[in-house]
Structure 1
Amino acid sequence: MTAPSALRHAVLLDRVREQLAARSVEPDAETIAEVVRSESGGLLSDTDLLAALRYLHTELVGAGPLEALLADSAVTDILVTGPDRVWIERGAGLERVPVAFDDEASVRRLAVRLALGAGRRLDDAQPWVDGRLAGIGRHGYAVRLHAMIPPLALDGTCISLRVLRSATMDFATLVANGGIPEPVRDLVTGVVAQRRAFVVVGGTGAGKSTFLNCLLGQVDPRERMVIVEDAPELDPQHPHVVRLVARAPNVEGIGEVSVRTLVRQALRMRPDRIIVGEVRGPEVIDLLTALNTGHEGCAGTLHANSVAEVPARMEALAALGGIGRTALHSQLAAALDVVFGVARRPDGRRGLVEVGAVDVAADGTVVIRSLWSRTDEPGWSSP
């Protein structure tokens, strides 16, 4: 876009925004076209009108230049680090894509608009945002948003989008793809059938939710599962599932419903199993409480580098809720049975790499004893 053209479009954008605000209407394509014709007084040619509409639609609706990337079902992450520096993740590492914004101001406008869509603010007084967007993109996927603006982001506005598509792969497909090796298949299904309490650990993008979703599909159909998540990812193929999703605070800082609150509510919903999509804070205490009140077979996911690090990771999270080390290990020993570790190879394949069992040391602390590890295939490592 040439400088004079960019200036005209920027002026037009401000005028259209004023009209839309005065009308209090949603900026859909038809409304934008009507406002543009009104503002131009009928002086724009068809070519100029089309160019203006494309520009305004990008600036006012959806995810702007990122819409096409969100429409790609293989894309899991979109990262913007500058007007002409856009990266995506499609399961084989980050790759740069030929998507560009007009300038830094355009990136910031999109970040601010997405923040408002998540019910948050992004400005000089609050220079970062962490929230969740519901139903953006052509397919209406939920998206986890993080954005940061200068001067904290030294080189310009940064936007990070994680596309939260439901984990719908079933157990048979996971086994067929090598995500669960045949030698350990019976061990995995036995953990579920015997109602053992377990957690799935691994790094970001390692496939924790996909693995957990597949295991939940193996639960006896007569059992009732209540799933609590920060963002809706789990959707097991099971006839009796209740899904609860946390809510972030609005722009006034009120209205938040935390995962911890939902775990407490789940205890009152006559569950056979309580599933916490990701334990990342003081809700670990409530999960352990649920595990120790007769709700066998409960499960969750946890960020950890390996199965052996689970006790230390839970110690840190429990400390946020005021629970000391001794009390945490006492509850953990009685509550948890098995730990599954998942990881992703450099070629994008994801799968189970380690299985551990909970043991109690002589001093009363919990340790994780290795039952199986994936050492027979090159390229796999612990999470």
Structure 2
Amino acid sequence: MSDIKKKVPDLLCLALFLLIFINGFESGGYQASLHTIGKAYDLSITSMGLFATVELFSTMLAPIILGGWADHIGKKKSLILMIYLQIISCAFIGIGSSQIAFLLGIFILGISTSTIQFVGIAAVGDIYKDSGFKIGIITSMYALGSVVAPLVVGAYLKLGVNWRVLFWLIMIISAFSLIGLFDRRADWSIKKEVVHELTPKGELVLPVIMMLSFIMLIYVGFENGFAFFVNSYFLDVLHSEAGEFALSLYWMMMIPSRLISGKFSRHAVQNLILATVSIPLITVIMAYTSVVAVELVLGAMLGFACGAIYPNVLTLAMKYSGRYSATATGIITTATGIGGVIFTGLMGIMADNLGYRTALILLALMFMVDIIIAVGLKLYCRHNRVNGSERISE
């Protein structure tokens, strides 16, 4: 009996990891497919940016509507319902042929992926005592999916396979993930310490959650603005077909970065400051470089720096969320949606009117706001520390 109890959490953990992998696969695959989708629907660069913002808008909307709902009905039920919705939306995109059908399907898909993301990560934070390390792993799964997807998409697109195959693959993998969630032996009870020095009543510490949300708003806006257009940047500016490889390299370097962040999660604040300083510096250098090989190296460095943001934000969010982990991750996910909507559309407009290089520089300048917020977060955490093994280093 004891052996079974030891294996069950691993089965549940694998299911949660797979769900986040699917989200990364969808994100990376959609980014890699956007150029082809744009050709299929005869879209301009600006229109491609607006197409991308539809899913990002629903990503922003879902946590506003469903954050408290997930804490209320339970994370298991909400995850299962969202997986069903994800399967339906992918089937809709796969069958439909008009722009309206695609936009409706991608909007619904954004709702499901967003909810699965914040509820799944909140579940890991609640269920596992070593949540800092597992958050590093689960965010790495998102990056892994984002690495694999462009390679898969690039391979089948070169063979002349329809771009809709991406959504059929997502549908199949999503259905497979239900196996782990339906295991009745899995223990979904909260095991993290919800009442401690920082959350004496088990409530949210809103100032920290809001600062983390603003960091993610700028970061995800930057990430999507860069990732959605990196392939077009390589094709149109550098006259190279290495864009898909650059995108995979960018996401691939997030994997070791997120694992390292999980391992050193007690230094979350310092990790954030280092990352927020590195990202705009690397981006500006990229904007002034024309050598493809150098751009690939810089893209890898940028991926490593970007990889540190998400796990460290989530580690801090779990410490300051009390018993409302889904609500906290929901607020942060809402911010990521807002950033994605604003910056992805803005990147398309800037690239259309000012060129890709100028757009990258402006994107880097906007990221400077995160440096200020990260330093403010450090000052707050210096005066509000957790004792003992739970202490977050200032």
Global fold match (TM > 0.5) = no
Q: Larger % of strand: which?
A: 1
Higher RCO (C-alpha under 8 Å, 6+ residues apart): 2
Q: Larger % of helix: which?
A: 2
Q: Work out which of the two has the higher radius of gyration on C-alpha atoms and give 1 or 2.
A: 1
TM interval, shorter chain, is under 0.3
